[in-house]
Amino acid sequence: MMTDPQYPPATARHGRPAPPVTATERRQANAKPARNILAIVGLLFGVAALVVTFVPDIEFVAWPLGGVGLVLAIAGLVQARKGAVGDRGVAVTATCVTVAALLTTAGMLLYSTFFGGGESGLHLPAVATDKHAVTFQVTSAGGATVRYGSLNDQRTENAPASTDAWLGQASYNNGSYLLTLTADTRNATVSNEIKCAILVDGKKVAENSGTTIALCTANVG
């Protein structure tokens, strides 16, 4: 059975010889740390999210890409700090890139929602010449107070007690919008099932129901 060769002991302080260092210990001391795979993959996700943010019609994909990338980057940074892997700089870069991608995506969404105006704004009530039609729909047997629109522009109306659906109309040409529809009962003592839905160009993009309140949201554009 082969054993590690013994190297001559080094002279320590006070004349006491230091314990011998084996070849295995020398190899372990000189070994390079493993690559930080989590940080590298997180960086790739972050770059992809940052690029997708500026691509029309698929910019929403930046949210899951950036979220997954940030989790991987932070995990890689934690491992690097523990010394389990190397590439700490890559982990820091990946964290910064993914955070930047998420902030950029959020900023573009907020800008289009709060500052979109004119031809690019959400029109309440609807304009017949706009490209896209939005329908807010509420059904409430006991009646409900309805608030609908976008984050920066909402209307409030009362939906009568009826089995027929109350309808609110809006429209837009360009831009991205976070549409919201809230309906809550006007009489808490009455059992009242409330249903809400948001339709864009006749296609249902959000739906919800509740006994006292119903909330529907949809990111469109």
Q: Is the pTM of this model over 0.75?
A: no
Least confident of 9-23, 49-63, 113-127: 9-23
| Mean pLDDT lowest among 62-76, 96-110, 115-129, 176-190 | 115-129
Identify the pLDDT of residue 23.
Answer: 58
What pLDDT score was predicted for residue 5? 56
CA distance 115 to 60: 19
* Listed ranges 9-13, 19-23, 148-152; the one with the highest mean pLDDT: 148-152
Distance CA 42, CA 127 (A): 44
What angle separates helix 37-52 from helix 62-82, to the nearest 10 degrees? 150
Separation of alpha carbons 134 and 149, rounded Å? 9
pLDDT digits (tens, 9 = 90+) for 145-183: 899 998 778 899 988 877 788 899 999 887 788 899 998
The per-residue pLDDT of the chain, averaged, comes to: 80
Lowest mean pLDDT among 29-38, 73-82, 140-149: 29-38
Residues in the chain, how many?
Answer: 221
